[in-house]
Structure 1
Amino acid sequence: MTLKELAIGDRAKIVGFNDSGKAYRRKLLAMGLTPGTEISLIRVAPLGDPVEILIRGYSLSLRKGEADAISVDKLA
């Protein structure tokens, strides 16, 4: 499952990245999106782009393409 598929209020754990380039993966890692990190989907813009997540105590907005590159496991 990808981050883009979560519903508002869902919690998930990052498990990895889909087919993205090394430079792009490095950018996501620099923003704190590391495997094993827990995130919560806060809100989605009316047209679905961007999405806002809560990670490590701060809010981060990601575009649809960025959210689609992140693989997650949904938490109960």
Structure 2
Amino acid sequence: MPDQPTRRAWLLAAIQRETGPVSTGRAEQLLSTTGWSCHRNTARKDLRSLTRRGLLHAVDADGRRTYTPTITGKDGRS
């Protein structure tokens, strides 16, 4: 049986494919295309967890927080 990615691993890969910063709302939209929960609070917790692990970088601008990947490719280069 092939390994299934976790929800957070899937979200990280989806964010890495995005062309710009991702907001909580956008993360919620990305998750809504999957079989996993797509509630805003779930997306927020996943984004915070990925940031704590050093996989995302949080930026506050104009009262909004957005996230960008710290690693953009499979080879680990940013």
Using CA pairs under 8 Å that are at least 6 residues apart, name the structure with larger relative contact order, 1 or 2.
Answer: 1
Common topology (TM > 0.5): no
* Largest Rg, 1 or 2: 2
Report the TM-score when normalising by structure 1.
Answer: 0.30
Structure that is richer in helix per residue: 2
Structure that is richer in strand per residue: 1
